[in-house]
Amino acid sequence: MRIIEPATEADFEQYYQLRYDVLRAPWQQPPGTERASDDDRAIHAMLLDPENRAAGVCRLHFENEEEGQLRFMAIREDLQNQGLGKYLLHYLEDKARDAGCKYITLQARELAVNFYKRYGYKVVKKTHLLFGSIQHYQMEKYL
Ligand SMILES: CC(C)(COP(=O)(O)OP(=O)(O)OC[C@H]1O[C@@H](n2cnc3c(N)ncnc32)[C@H](O)[C@@H]1OP(=O)(O)O)[C@@H](O)C(=O)NCCC(=O)NCCS
């Protein structure tokens, strides 16, 4: 397994496909909803399996000089629960630290809260319900 920052059209095709498959398709959301209007201003990280297929994705953007925010964290379904998410987390935390951020924020799906807690994130508050069913929690971690 290794992490790259997608650069080519083919990289981004895999990147967005995984985002869609994990974070949108199970809730019958239409193709295109996996893309965000500020994706062009984010740092994207993609975990590749030994066959160079996308195994996980996540992105980091800067809310301001002190705050980095993680979004769209997803590990391919057949590779979930094997401890791989931490590699993307640590990669992008390092990027935020290098850029001078003091803390990271994110909106965690309920099922992912324990995952983030394991790596030092704390719940700040309960926030929105996505697709009418997925409770989210704002979490943060000081770097
Ligand atoms: C959340 C996620 C990124 C964690 O990465 P990972 O490599 O699977 O992480 P780990 O193996 O270290 O831990 C998995 C934990 O997430 C939980 N989890 C994540 N997604 C889950 C799902 N769809 N169903 C049940 N549990 C899930 C596991 O139960 C486990 O919880 P635990 O720590 O209490 O045992 C990954 O599981 C994933 O992509 N899940 C689906 C999409 C998602 O929820 N993304 C996060 C958006 S905020």
What single-letter DSSP state applies at residue 29? Answer: P
| Atom nearest to 81 CA in ligand 1 | 11
Which CATH number covers residue 91?
Answer: 3.40.630.30
The values of phi and psi at residue 32, to 5°, are 110, -30
Establish if 136 belongs to a structural domain: no
Establish if 120 belongs to a structural domain: no
17 CA to middle of ligand 1, Å?
A: 18
Q: How far is CA 44 from CA 38, 55, 120, 143, in A?
A: 12, 14, 22, 19
Establish if 134 belongs to a structural domain: no
Establish if 131 belongs to a structural domain: no
Question: What pLDDT does residue 133 have?
Answer: 87
26 lines ligand 1 (CB under 6 A): no
4 CA to middle of ligand 1, Å?
A: 21
Question: What pLDDT does residue 132 have?
Answer: 85
The overall average pLDDT reported for the chain is: 97
Domain count, the chain: 1
pLDDT by residue (tens digit) across 76-119? Answer: 999 999 999 999 999 999 999 999 999 999 999 999 999 999 99
Residue range of the domain that includes 41: 2-104
Strand order in the sheet with 134-142: 2-4, 43-48, 54-62, 67-75, 103-109, 134-142, 122-130
138 lines ligand 1 (CB under 6 A): no
Q: What percent of the chain has pLDDT over 70?
A: 100
Alpha helices in the chain (DSSP H): 9-23, 85-98, 113-118
